[in-house]
Amino acid sequence: MSTIVPNLKASGEKCETCPIRHRAVCSYSSPSELSELNDAKYYRDFRPGEEIVGEQEPMTAVGSLIDGVASLYKTLEDGRRQMVGLLFPSDFIGRPMRSHAPYEAVAVTPVRMCLFHRQKFEAILRSNTSLERRMLEMTLDELDAARDWMLLLGRKSARERLASFLMILIRRRAELMKVNAEDVREIDLPLTREAIAEFIGLTIETVSRQFSLLRKQGLIGQIDRRTLSVGDYDALSTTAGDYGPLSSDAAIA
Amino acid sequence: MSTIVPNLKASGEKCETCPIRHRAVCSYSSPSELSELNDAKYYRDFRPGEEIVGEQEPMTAVGSLIDGVASLYKTLEDGRRQMVGLLFPSDFIGRPMRSHAPYEAVAVTPVRMCLFHRQKFEAILRSNTSLERRMLEMTLDELDAARDWMLLLGRKSARERLASFLMILIRRRAELMKVNAEDVREIDLPLTREAIAEFIGLTIETVSRQFSLLRKQGLIGQIDRRTLSVGDYDALSTTAGDYGPLSSDAAIA
DNA sequence: CGATATTTTGACCCGGCTCAACCCAAGTGG
DNA sequence: CCACTTGGGTTGAGCCGGGTCAAAATATCG
């Protein structure tokens, strides 16, 4: 799983031109604060399937996801797994103020991370108030999203779960393209059936069946293997059972 | 549900003598910082079943649970409910930096809260670094606990869920009595079957059946209606499927 | 084109839900 | 003091949604 990957030294890359500069944990930092981060950071790439940090392993680095999609997992001794977070660019990976990772993080697509040595980051956190404030904000958002997810895992049917999952992707894309969620025509699926199943707490067979049903009923259509179209936004939204796009800015969602 | 309850003005009560002084969000605050909080705080009592804040309602106050047990809920339109947090003394209720509550909070037992006007609290947060640091710590712990809970809701069987729930109560009590979890002999159940079911994502019938099974198999015993004894700690712990007492200090757990 | 991985579909099964009866303790009022 | 209510809690019977196991269909890749 852990192949040798080059630890890129920050070559020409500067925080100022970073694509996630305005959304990541550093987004409130002033130019002077940023330069401290700039000096401490390093980049690292991960390939699909590669483990970013292991569950219960010492966590030496934390940082921001610059590009790609990653997921967080918790696993039971007998191998049952549950995804507990789905991370997109600008989301933060790692747990400050704890020496061991409470979960496993895995790259879903090719991933580029902006990393800091954990203890160094914690030291900066302590002195850099705007970093700490943003960290608190992001953590609160993640907590909101985690609670939405608890509702899904505890109470929603398979159909509702899949619809909720698609709504997350739709909202995420709407945000990215700066349009209303209703206007999103197509969404691409960065996850395999297995990852989707682990995310929404089902088996891959059930996920597949529910996809077929939603397709048959016209809520969604197929464009190609990794892309699908939104057939009936309202029906999807209703099936998801959400109150609206609340906590849409949270990391998990 | 919302009966008239006296809004107690801080009479003789001072933060210095507060029973949760050393664990709550204010626990890192210096004497001078504390006096600012002292001036802004007020107490309020809630009776069992009373709503502390409503889901999606404007949230004017936030604060610490001083005494009693409270729970957080998320609800679907058709009435299905999922508990998303179980709060004990020193835990924080409310969502800074958001105007509306993302969940409903309800008093389970008689509850006393130490409250702040939300915007006032946010202003203090911004100027009081130790308050913000502690807030971040507590939020990170809650997030860890929420993710443990996602694993439970997504993957554990009814039996495992109930055992996990009991382990939470055992650890919580161990902490309180300052003994090892293995040495806890009895635990009291502050929750009704219904609340337990809503917590672990089951129906009350299934909860009741699993209680009967655990009793029959000697993992637990009955002392009285609201108290039970630990019959076989190891079996309970194994059934819960936890790796150990990780994230034991988190708010939900 | 074969070889391997992923996805879909089918048949069957089982754990937990539903619906319903019953139990028990704690009021409450005559 | 007893009849009645009320609100948990327990237990049983039957069902069903989603899991399991197996096989076919479809992609992906040398």
- Decide if A235 contacts A182 (C-beta within 8 A): no
Which pLDDT value is given to residue A249? 40
B129 and A133 within 8 Å at the Cβ level: the answer is: no
More confident site: B243 or A92: A92
DSSP characters for B187-215?
A: EE--S-HHHHHHHHTS-HHHHHHHHHHHH
More confident site: B12 or B161: B161
Which pLDDT value is given to residue A243? 56
Which pLDDT value is given to residue B250? 42
Which pLDDT value is given to residue B243? 55
Which pLDDT value is given to residue B251? 41
Q: Give the pLDDT mean for B63-90.
A: 93
For B79, name the nearest residue in chain A, comparing CA atoms only: A155
Best A77, A87, A136 residue to mutate vs chain B (most B CBs within 10 Å): A136
- What's the token pair of residue A153? 């895992």
Distance, CA of B18 to CA of A125 (rounded, Å): 29
Q: Which nucleotides of D are covered by protein (CB under 7 A)?
A: 8-13, 17-22, 27-28
pLDDT digit string, tens, across residues A122-179? 999 999 999 999 999 999 999 999 999 999 999 999 999 999 999 999 998 998 889 9
Which pLDDT value is given to residue B2? 40
In three-state secondary structure terms, B137 is helix
Cβ neighbours of B148 in A, within 8 Å: 74
Query: A220 vs A177, A187, A210, CA distance in Å?
Result: 20, 10, 11
Strands across the sheet containing A220-224: A186-188, A227-230, A220-224
Cβ neighbours of B146 in A, within 8 Å: 143, 146-147, 150
Query: B125 vs A48, B119, B121, B132, CA distance in Å?
Result: 40, 10, 6, 5
Residue closest to D11, CA→C1'?
Answer: B209
State phi, psi for A117 to the nearest 5 degrees: -60, 135
> Is the predicted pLDDT of residue B244 greater than 50, yes or no?
no
Q: Which residues of chain A have pLDDT under 50?
A: 1-11, 244-253
Element (H, E) at B84: strand B81-87
Q: Give the pLDDT mean for B46-71.
A: 93
Residues ≥6 apart with Cβ < 8 Å to A143: B139, B142, B143, B146
Most confident range (mean pLDDT) of A206-210, B6-10, B168-172 is A206-210
Full-model pTM: 0.90
Cβ neighbours of A143 in B, within 8 Å: 139, 142-143, 146
DSSP characters for B88-133?
A: -TT-EES-TT-SB-SSEEEESS-EEEEEEEHHHHHHHHHH-HHHHH
More confident site: B145 or A77: B145
The conformational region for residue B236 under phi > 0 = left, psi -120 to 50 = alpha, else beta, is alpha
The conformational region for residue B188 under phi > 0 = left, psi -120 to 50 = alpha, else beta, is beta
> Is the predicted pLDDT of residue B111 greater than 70, yes or no?
yes
Select from B157, B174, B150 the least CA-distant residue to B213.
Answer: B157
Best B135, B155, B252 residue to mutate vs chain A (most A CBs within 10 Å): B155
Which pLDDT value is given to residue B1? 40
CA of A52 to C1' of D27 (A): 28
Which pLDDT value is given to residue B212? 95
Which pLDDT value is given to residue B6? 47
A136 and B139 within 8 Å at the Cβ level: the answer is: yes
- Decide if A160 contacts A239 (C-beta within 8 A): yes
- Which of A20-24, B12-16, B134-138 has the lowest average pLDDT? B12-16
Residue whose structure tokens are 């398979």? A158
Distance, CA of B191 to CA of A168 (rounded, Å): 33
Place B16 in a pLDDT band, splitting at 50, 70 and 90.
confident
Distance, CA of A84 to CA of A209 (rounded, Å): 23
pLDDT digit string, tens, across residues B121-133? 999 999 999 999 9
Distance, CA of A180 to CA of B193 (rounded, Å): 43
